[in-house]
Amino acid sequence: MLAMVILFFIILYTLIAYVVVRRVRRITTDRRLRALAVTIAVLIPSWDVVLSGVIYYISCPFFPKASIYETAKTDGIFYEGPFRNTVYIGVKLDGTLVNRMPSQVMMTSKEAINIWSSL
């Protein structure tokens, strides 16, 4: 459902950008204004990718590391449930579960659905 909403807004933006660029082409004959309209239509949805690419490319030689500023010490995390010894559970296309602890037995997707529905 979310993908359909996103797809709707992508199509809507494309239509609006197309109409605006066509109107600019009808109003003016200046090639710079036409190019500016196309540039703005392309950069509105993607400006953060372009800008962050430029900023990261420039700043990487000066700030090249990730830092840990504070470490929190805890007694641990306690969780009860059928999947307490797992980190992530995924299902392959053949129906087997992946990313489980080696000591646990692989199960089919029907068994996984039964376990998830019982939670």
Dump pLDDT digits (tens) for 17-61: 999 999 999 999 999 999 999 999 998 888 888 778 788 778 777
Asked if residue 92 is part of any domain, the answer here is: yes
**Of 111 and 50, which is predicted with more confidence?**
50
Nearest to 51 by CA among 43, 39, 42: 43
| Residue 84 pLDDT > 90 | no
Do 45 and 85 belong to one domain? no
Domain that holds residue 49: 11-59
Which 8-state DSSP code applies to residue 99?
A: S
The amino acid occupying position 7 is L
What's the rounded Cα separation, in Å, for the pair 109 and 31? 59
Domain count of the fold of the chain: 2
